[in-house]
Structure 1
Amino acid sequence: MLVDWCDPATMLLEQDYLGSTPAVLQRLSQGARAYSAWWNVNAHNRLSFAAGNELILTIDAFGPGRPEDHAGIDQWPELQAMTDFFVDFEERDQHYDWQAAMLAVIDQTTGARLTGEWLKRPHPYITVRMPDAAH
């Protein structure tokens, strides 16, 4: 797991799904706000937001439906304002990138900017054993 700061945000990056689970997001959001963008090669995905030790919202970014279908969306106004995020799959432009949209809304919400320069820098990391991470 990579741990670093990016502008005003603490960034945790991993190559698995653990950081997207409700238990982990709830713990990360103790006294803070936590955002997660996760997907795999089969397009299974989750865009999540937690605050105050509570999972507020989880959305499938590949087929998100309508904003009003999601309880808690009013607590994430930046996502609610991304009208192209909620366009039906069949109506999307061929260049629409749902993974980029997930990262863009987190970028817009937090002010953290994942620039090419940031990505090229060395970052501290830790190794976490799976049983320890969710408890």
Structure 2
Amino acid sequence: MNPMDLQYAITHYRRLIKEIGWLEERMAWTVILPVSGRLSLQETATRLTGGSHPELSELDPGLPDVVYLGQSGAAVMLFEATGFSHAGGTQVLERLSENARVWHVAWNITGMRVLIHAAQGKVLARIPEFAPDWLNGIDPDSLREEAAILRGIGRYRPPTRYKTKVMAMVEQRTGARLDKQWFDRPRPAVPLWSPAEDIQRI
């Protein structure tokens, strides 16, 4: 990764987290980069739900139990506001990464933090808690550079230092950028509940 480009992206995400304050404590961002061709939002939604064909709804950003979808260049981005991620599940990442490479970053109010890389239907590596010494998986080398960059931050730094750097690394790997405009209007989304579940909640 080019250090100057990485630093520019870090500055962007530092500004984004400052502007969208709740991002500091919770979010999940998944970027899917097809190996060839393009991946439609509808096909992505089908992979996300395990084979069904959900209708995409335009929903305001920031809702819980919703996965938002959008194109960013050649990539497809998924965003979940709570950080308790559906897209980050192992089986879901395996489906999303068919004929594609996927980077997933998430954190939430429990203190959980993780960076995951998947490709060709397999979860290859993960860095739990953004702790480089905890890098693990069937192909840890696929996140070796990311782990080295995180190690360069040092210990006992503010959590935002890690979060902005991880988001910047995902951007550098995929060309996808999450920006403030993403949160300014309704986005195509897949609700993770059914009408029957709504009745049960009443």
- TM-score tier, shorter chain, comes to 0.7 to 0.9
Report the equivalent of 2:95.
27
Give ranges in structure 1 of 5+ residues lacking alignment.
Answer: 131-135
The answer to whether structure 1 residue 104 and structure 2 residue 161 are counterparts is: no
TM-score where L is the length of structure 2: 0.53
Does the C-alpha gap of structure 1 residues 70 and 23 become closer, same or farther in structure 2, counting only changes over 3 Å?
closer
Q: Deviations along 1:104-128, whole A, 9 cap, x unmatched? A: 1111100011222344243211213
* Match of residue 139, structure 2, among 67, 72, 78: 72
Work out whether residues 123 and 137 of structure 2, in 8 Å CA contact, stay in contact via their aligned partners in 1: no
Determine which of 36, 51, 75 is the counterpart of 1:9: 75
Q: How many residues align?
A: 126
1:84 alignment partner AA? I
TM-score normalised according to structure 1 size: 0.75
Contact 2:124 2:137 in 1 (8 A): no
Residues 82 and 48 of structure 1: is their aligned pair in 2 closer, same or farther, counting only changes over 3 Å? closer
| Match in the other structure for 1:133 | none
Unaligned runs of 5+ in 2: 1-66, 195-202
Cα separation, 2, equivalents of 1:98 and 1:36:
14
- Kindly name which structure, 1 or 2, has the bigger radius of gyration based on alpha carbons: 2
Cα deviation code 1:53-109 (max 9, x no counterpart): 011001114422176x66523234xx606633124753x555862122221111110
Partner of 1:65, secondary structure, is helix
Is contact 1:4-1:10 (8 Å) kept? yes
Query: In structure 1, what is the Cα distance between the partners aligned to 2:128 and 2:163?
Result: 11
Q: Aligned partners of 2:161 and 2:107: how far apart in 1?
A: 13
Cα distance in 2 between the residues matched to 1:31 and 1:108: 20
